[in-house]
Amino acid sequence: MGEQVYQLIQRMYRAAGFQGQQQFATKIGVTQGYVSNLLKPLNKGGREPSEEIANKIADVCARSEHERMQYRQMLNQARIVRFFPGGLPDPVIVELPRLGMDAQFLKMVDKDLQQLPLDQRRQVIRKARLSYRHLLKVLRGEALLDHWQVMRLAQGLRRNPMVYLLASRLISKELSELAATNPEFVDQMFRLSPRPVNDLLSKLSSLSDTTTLHADRLE
């Protein structure tokens, strides 16, 4: 049997790096007491979120559109499983994606780090404004990096930031192609403050998904 809803929420909440339950509660529009109950099992006074709240949790914890859809699927699948203690019918069972960042991206980062002497490795991590502990959790699949952390890490390792961003699945293939043809535009975009850039990336990702959907329907 897979993870229960409260366990998934715990992992998403911790991986997203919220400073506390109150910050998390504010983001999803509920009280701190409600969040406290979401993070506990049902037999210990916990409660499960509605579909609306589950989707909000996925939205605020995810760092990309791809990850947002994964998180939504994981939470809603776990909510359904509880009503089928004997197991779901085979056609409904799906393999849920792991939490954390793309496995190939993590292998790339780990390989690049291992090629450096220990002192240089520490310097790169420090310049990326990461703690060694957080990066270790990322490499274990227990935490996430945002666009800015991925870019700073790539720069510290003297790798193309767009290669790292694409490998991490934090940007779409379309944006990567835009970077290749219009590097000045993308460079200027990432000089903006994080919030407008994150909003823009989310909109670009959503537009890409919509375009793909329309293309599939036309075929």
Residue range 117-164, pLDDT digits in tens: 999 999 999 988 888 888 888 888 877 787 778 888 998 999 888 788
Q: Are residues 78 and 112 in the same domain?
A: no
Is the domain of 72 the same as that of 162? no
Could you tell me if residue 186 is inside a domain? Answer: yes
Same-domain pairing of 112 and 184: yes
Report the distance separating Cα 136 and Cα 109, nearest Å: 11
Would you state the pLDDT for residue 63?
A: 76
Where do we find the tokens 């935490």?
143
Q: Are residues 107 and 87 in the same domain?
A: no
Residues 10 and 87 reside in one and the same domain: yes
Residue 20 has which token pair?
A: 């506390």
- Report how many domains make up the chain: 2
User: Domain check: are 16 and 108 in the same one?
Assistant: no
Please tell me whether residues 58 and 141 are part of one structural domain. no
Among residues 50, 72, 92, the one where a domain terminates is 92
Out of 4-13, 66-75, 88-97, least confident range: 88-97
Q: Within a domain: residue 97?
A: no
Does residue 138 sit in the same domain as residue 179? yes
Tell me the CATH number at 46.
Answer: 1.10.260
Of 49, 36, 39, the residue nearest 12 (C-alpha): 39
Task: Please tell me the pTM assigned to this model.
Answer: 0.51
Distance CA 205, CA 88 (A): 32
Q: Do 173 and 81 share a structural domain? A: no
Expressed as residue numbers, the domain containing 112 is 103-218
Q: Are residues 110 and 41 in the same domain?
A: no
Tell me what the pLDDT averaged over the chain comes to: 76
